[in-house]
Structure 1
């Protein structure tokens, strides 16, 4: 068997996990329980990792970068957006409700989209050169549906999506135990653990390749040409 491609150096990358749970802190989030596994892998490799629970912040609804300029008194999204743009890796984490991503996750996608017209120094969408992934939990069907929706949105606004860039856990289709519930089997589930590992390593490796190459080639994808 031929040697596999050399593993890139991922130390120093920055990753942001946006938790789209509907629960405000300090309530336990099952989705963040799954995210913790991915974050642990990244931290072990020297990656700077941060998680933001979006529902803890006053994020306005809308599709403009700063909604205080459009009638809202408070909008915490611009501060979160700064973290988004400082990260090489973005992982959107959502629970499933009625087979769909959470309302907070929809809001996050809308607010990310609001800045997609901004350009980087090469005239590309400001999200070019970054990689995206998705983590999903619930006790009803919908992991693949939610992942398709989120990953489509991320690539549409400029993120690069590596192979197998999503993972999830639903256990026995509900109502049933959630990921972190005692006896759920979620944290020990081989399939979920494997796919979470695949997603994490693929995000790290692709982000490192893009970093080493100085971003995504600006040829045929510039907004100003």
Structure 2
């Protein structure tokens, strides 16, 4: 059974600039493809996503069509660079916009994101990946996403070295192995949730 994945690239660099975050996304999507998951990517900074916590902030807000693509996906990969030890401001804005989904339910009364799986990818040449993953998983789980076992992958370069993930000659094997695990477990969990949804709320 084919599943779909949507990666939200939360780099601060607009297209067509190079992006270490995009490189890691491409690797995760390639690994997911091995499990019959078709993937797509949105570089969020290319769209005028307004600040706020509503589904549509009006006045040209670009979030509604991005939200529609997110709701159509079985797996959502939230990917961010590390800035001063934290996720990018773009990633934080995505989480803030997802807050609106807390009040959205399906026909059975379940939160609308209950059937979806979330994974996280982080790149950076400074520390902070573990804290970013923890913060993102907490927020994503709060709004209804399910998190697979070992559902994150990250790469931290040497602090202050100026070497980015996209500058590496090859992908470190621990990163590649973690990417494979993330993909396998995310696809497995998404299929379980499709076949056996969470029970309806009372």
Q: TM-score, normalised by structure 1?
A: 0.87
Moved over 3 A (4+): none
Root-mean-square deviation (CA), in Å?
1.2
* Structure 1: distance between partners of 2:90 and 2:48: 11
* Structure 1: distance between partners of 2:33 and 2:15: 23
Per-residue deviation, 1:114: 1.5
* Structure 2: distance between partners of 1:126 and 1:188: 36
- Report the counterpart of residue 112 of structure 1 in structure 2: 98
Matches within 5 A, 1:13-92: 13-68=3-58, 73-92=59-78
Per-residue deviation, 1:36: 0.7
* Structure 2: distance between partners of 1:153 and 1:140: 22
Residue 133 (1) aligns with residue 116 (2): no
Unaligned runs of at least 5 residues, structure 2: none
More helix by share: 2
Per-residue deviation, 1:203: 0.4
* Structure 2: distance between partners of 1:41 and 1:192: 12
> Size of the alignment, in residue pairs?
202
* Structure 2: distance between partners of 1:175 and 1:61: 33
Unaligned runs of at least 5 residues, structure 1: 1-10
Residue 175 (1) aligns with residue 161 (2): yes
Residue 188 (1) aligns with residue 174 (2): no
* Structure 1: distance between partners of 2:109 and 2:77: 25
Residue 216 (1) aligns with residue 198 (2): yes
SS at match of 1:123: coil
Q: TM-score, normalised by structure 2?
A: 0.96
Per-residue deviation, 1:171: 2.0
SS at match of 2:103: coil
